[in-house]
Structure 1
Amino acid sequence: MEKIVATGLINEFQNCTQIQYSGQLHTQSAKGVKWTFYYRLGRIVWATGGNHPFRRWRRLIAQYCPSLETEKIQLSSQDISRDYWDYCLLENLYEKQQIKREQVNLIVENTLAELLFDLAQQANFSSISCERSQKVILETPMSFTSADTSLKQMRDSWKNWSEAGLANFSPNFAPILIRPELLQNQVSPSVYKNFITLINGKHTLRELALKMKQNVLPVTRSLLPYILKGTIELVEISDLPLPIIKVHNQSNNSKAKISSIPLVACIDDSSQVCQIMEQILVPKGLRFVQIQDALQALPILIEHKPDIIFLDLIMPVVNGYEICAQLRRISLFANTPIIILTGSDGLLDRVRAKVVGSTGFMSKLIAADKIIDVIKKYISVPVKI
């Protein structure tokens, strides 16, 4: 694989056009994010990969095929086993006359535009690996897109994004309001209400722009002053896969039963601590989620909404005090029990933990009975515990 930077990347796409290439162009960033561009006779006919393939597919369907209800589309694991599952799904919807050719073209064009933009952003901060695969998958594409036109759009959109001071912010990030008290003093009550409703860490900037019926650039630019002041923070969030049909379907009663089982989260960079916690809790009938990367804690917690959180005090990059204070500024976690775990049981640590909003404080010498006692103290648990 050949290592190339932004200029080399452009050249690679242009070479594929000039030689009327048919096949796949695989690209990968230094961080491991992968994109695949499908060519037919020098024209790009589809692209897959990136950070949020399922969110992207949902959003573009909602934008260009509003009559389709994506939540009612059920897939088997076989349906999404292909790298180009999203294209196959479009093809299927078109064959069933549920969407029109014009809608397919719009979705293809916008998929390419988004993935090329994300690739350009990555290429400006790290090296990109490229590799061609002669295997032709899409023999009869539904849509042909001029690679030269797509590359010009990529350059223009990246230039506009950078000049707006947004180069370091990905449109795949989600804005979350972390200091509502500051915002309340800065804007009108109606604007504040909209912020509280929309800026909740659940929607990416692209999804937010769709909700507001605007382009992502002006929406992000309008949020920039609040981001720079620390009122709003941009966080990475996970993808949202489409529902998969399972062989053994659960009844509504069993689904409700599972969702009612308390979920315990443990944020600790030590895999040993997380493993011990899991060995204590899962046999007791509790659900458990471990988070070893403190930087990923917020989006994962927002996604899973645990009933109680055990939080390590000393971690690299971000410590437990900072995470606890951040969580308390989010309405979703205003009343969630947060138990600080620490190896040093000093008075100063206890006072500081209390100041940032922790519910409890316990030693990292984890004992099963103490963990269970703490959980029973703060949340309702199954009778068998």
Structure 2
Amino acid sequence: MITNIFNEFKTCTQLQYNGQLNLISPNQHQWTFYYRLGRIAWATGGTHPFRRWRRLMAQHCPQIDVDKMQLRQQDISTNYWDYRLLEILYKKQKIQREQIHAFVESSITELLFDLAQQSNFHTIMGERSQKVILETPMSFTSADLSIKQMLDSWTNWSEAGLTNIFPDFAPVIRRTEQLQQQVSPSIYKNFVTLINGKSTLRDLAVKMRQNVLPVSRSLLPYVLKGIIELVELPDLPLIVTENANNPISTQPKKSKAPLIACVDDSPQVCKSLEDIITSNGMRFIKIQDPIQALPILIQEKPDLIFLDLIMPVASGYEICTQLRRISAFANTPVIILTGNDGLLDRVRAKVVGSTDFLTKPVAADKVMSVVRRYLPVQTPLPMKTGSRLEVCH
């Protein structure tokens, strides 16, 4: 069954087709692939178009808070609403072309995978239409390459025993006592936190910064034993503001105490900085696992980051370099922490985009001097107790 569908894709490539390839299954699943000169420019449809858009925005455009976007009904009324939103965000210079390309690639990959899985259960009908032609696509994708990657992905999925496991289903724990007996307390805590029936397997994979295959494979034994059940979830729509005067705008953030982050594998350094920051009325987040630093920083969006230079697996140099590649952190002050006040370290820290340098041990006057120098807002008055967010892995 799947061969006939891929012959359609092959034909579109050979014809250098401009237009839509519409595919539909007997259970009314629909997919639309938009072609320009024989290459896929966009793809939409599937089970969870809105949930997918939210998930891919969080993954590839973390600087955009989807829930704060003001959308009118006409913004999401066309079949390719998701593409239009990316276009508008790009024109407003809120996202970069590289982010759009990654978004498009991920969307096409997901939809092709779902198409392959559905083709194992249903006959898929296809038709070409030139009703909508994207004249100036923001991204081009080779259909042949995408299909090869999808076939490899589907083969791996099937060989892992996941043929009947749909990545848009959500895991929910059904037998908590049995689960508690089979796993360690820390793993059980993670299971209870993450597996609540509100996130699909794909949502969980993005949260865990993993591919959906290993996440699904790790849950399969519990699914087979009936400890975990996979359930269907409704789509998660975007919020429409009927009287939005400026569509696709983001509301300003409410005034809050500045959030300061510390990425350091030393508990002593984190504790010292925490005491200094919170006693001066600011919020604090500590990250002691450098591997988790980037996803946590993207999620929390601190106003200033203290970053240790020497850490296992991922150094401060590497983390700083990755941060500066993300537009949301282009201007965030990054203060390198080090026990060595050498010239070479200072030069290298500047090269990777750090803002300043602070030598250990940290002292309150030096820390607050740096904070006041680089934060664009006035720091609040000291307070007896400060709010903090601990992220220890």
Do the two structures share a fold, i.e. TM-score over 0.5?
A: yes
Deviation at 1:153, TM superposition (A): 0.9
Counterpart of 1:237 in structure 2 is 233
- Structure 1 unmatched runs, 5+: 249-385
Provide the C-alpha distance between the structure 2 equivalents of 1:223 and 1:203, rounded to a whole number of angstroms. 14
Aligned AA for 1:126?
Answer: H
1:74/1:242 contact within 8 Å kept: no
Counterpart of 2:305 in structure 1 is none
Aligned AA for 2:173?
Answer: L
TM-score by length of 2: 0.61
The structure 2 residue matched to 1:217, chosen from 213, 222, 239, is 213
Counterpart of 1:361 in structure 2 is none
1:187 matched to 2:187? The reply is no
* Identity value in percent: 67
The structure 1 residue matched to 2:59, chosen from 55, 58, 63, is 63
For residues 77-123 of structure 1, the C-alpha deviation after alignment (integer angstroms, 9 at most, x for no partner) is 11111000000000011111111110000000010000000011001
Provide the C-alpha distance between the structure 2 equivalents of 1:91 and 1:247, rounded to a whole number of angstroms. 22
Aligned AA for 1:110?
Answer: S
1:76/1:245 contact within 8 Å kept: yes
More contact order relative to length (CA 8 Å, sep ≥ 6)? 2
SS at match of 1:233: strand
Counterpart of 1:269 in structure 2 is none
Counterpart of 1:101 in structure 2 is 97
SS at match of 1:175: strand
Aligned AA for 2:37?
Answer: L
For residues 1-38 of structure 1, the C-alpha deviation after alignment (integer angstroms, 9 at most, x for no partner) is xxxx2110011100110011111000001110100000
The structure 2 residue matched to 1:78, chosen from 52, 74, 78, is 74
1:20 matched to 2:16? The reply is yes
Aligned AA for 1:199?
Answer: I
Cα RMSD after superposing both structures: 1.3
1:113/1:150 contact within 8 Å kept: yes
Q: How does 1:354-365 map to 2 (within 5 A)?
A: none
Aligned AA for 2:72?
Answer: S
1:46 matched to 2:16? The reply is no
SS at match of 1:99: coil
Deviation at 1:214, TM superposition (A): 0.7
2:18/2:133 contact within 8 Å kept: no
For residues 340-368 of structure 1, the C-alpha deviation after alignment (integer angstroms, 9 at most, x for no partner) is xxxxxxxxxxxxxxxxxxxxxxxxxxxxx
Provide the C-alpha distance between the structure 2 equivalents of 1:241 and 1:168, rounded to a whole number of angstroms. 26
For residues 150-176 of structure 1, the C-alpha deviation after alignment (integer angstroms, 9 at most, x for no partner) is 110111111110110001011000000
Deviation at 1:247, TM superposition (A): 4.1
Aligned AA for 1:153?
Answer: Q
2:72/2:241 contact within 8 Å kept: yes
Provide the C-alpha distance between the structure 1 equivalents of 2:53 and 2:90, rounded to a whole number of angstroms. 15
For residues 250-292 of structure 1, the C-alpha deviation after alignment (integer angstroms, 9 at most, x for no partner) is xxxxxxxxxxxxxxxxxxxxxxxxxxxxxxxxxxxxxxxxxxx
Provide the C-alpha distance between the structure 2 equivalents of 1:112 and 1:164, rounded to a whole number of angstroms. 22
Deviation at 1:68, TM superposition (A): 1.1
Counterpart of 2:323 in structure 1 is none
SS at match of 2:9: helix
The structure 2 residue matched to 1:170, chosen from 166, 172, 176, is 166
1:149 matched to 2:148? The reply is no
Counterpart of 1:273 in structure 2 is none
Provide the C-alpha distance between the structure 2 equivalents of 1:37 and 1:217, rounded to a whole number of angstroms. 24
The structure 2 residue matched to 1:197, chosen from 181, 193, 201, is 193
Provide the C-alpha distance between the structure 1 equivalents of 2:227 and 2:125, rounded to a whole number of angstroms. 37
Provide the C-alpha distance between the structure 2 equivalents of 1:136 and 1:79, rounded to a whole number of angstroms. 17
Provide the C-alpha distance between the structure 1 equivalents of 2:185 and 2:154, rounded to a whole number of angstroms. 34
The structure 2 residue matched to 1:160, chosen from 156, 171, 179, is 156
1:127 matched to 2:123? The reply is yes
For residues 324-351 of structure 1, the C-alpha deviation after alignment (integer angstroms, 9 at most, x for no partner) is xxxxxxxxxxxxxxxxxxxxxxxxxxxx
Q: Which runs of 4+ in 1 moved over 4 A?
A: none
Aligned AA for 1:20?
Answer: Q
